[in-house]
Amino acid sequence: MAGFGLSVVNDAGIISIDSEYARLCILQIGTFSGGAGNASVSFNPVITTQEPPLIFLRPNNNGGLVTIGCAVLGSAGNWTGMNIVGPSNYAPNGKYFVGGFATTPTASFGLRLWDGGSKLVFDSGKPAAVFTRFYQNWTYVKSTQDVQGYYTNWYSSPFSSSPDEYLLFNNAGMRMLSGDNIGRGTGIIYDFAASQLWFTTTALNNPFNFSLPAVYAKPVA
């Protein structure tokens, strides 16, 4: 932080509140459920950040495989909800929270901080989340090819069985570079039986380099 202001350090020596930077705040939190491969969540109120909010999901443990994706609905300054999708034989269900590095005046009493530009960076009435793990050392396992010639690469990593850890889905929804102008499609598969998280990339060209991080966070009081 700057030479003046407020900084709060926790027992691990990590800055948890700072008057220069906003912390990761929970903008919406709840559960999702649906049917036939789709579950919709409406943001109430709508989220007014310019950048898309950060979507963290934790599907319920079904003892087997869960293929899941997510798309944010709306536009800059008016994010209205999200669609959580999967195969048609799966009814998406689980927990979510929507986060952002922004806050709103919520508490009737407590502590409120603004930065040097008069932007509100902390309100003690707004729940927060903390990043818990960052994983980038994926293990390449196999490639499959469909009848159209598309290759799907399969990468795995262990994941925590803690029900309080949620996975960031924003980066998993972006197409990745490949050796053509189409790019690589992406997908996430939970294997609860094996405690493995699978990440897949699908493309006509078959690059193997893969370093997209898996980012986990959890809500805190």
Q: What is the pLDDT of residues 137-186, one digit of tens each?
A: 889 999 999 998 888 999 998 876 678 899 999 887 776 766 666 778 88
Identity of the residue numbered 132: T
| Cα distances (Å, whole numbers) of residue 19 to 46, 113, 129, 131 | 26, 6, 17, 19
157 C-beta neighbours (distance < 10 Å), count: 14
- Residue identified by tokens 């269900």 is 93
Specify the pLDDT at position 140. Answer: 92
179 C-beta neighbours (distance < 10 Å), count: 12
Higher-confidence position of 11 and 221: 11
Specify the pLDDT at position 3. Answer: 58
Question: What is the value of pTM for the model shown?
Answer: 0.85
Look at residue 17 and tell me whether its pLDDT is greater than 80: no
Look at residue 8 and tell me whether its pLDDT is greater than 80: no
Domain map (residue ranges) of the chain: 7-65+76-132, 136-214
Q: What is the mean pLDDT of residues 79-92?
A: 93
What is the per-residue pLDDT across 96-107, written as a single tens digit (0 to 9) for each?
999 988 777 777
Look at residue 40 and tell me whether its pLDDT is greater than 90: yes
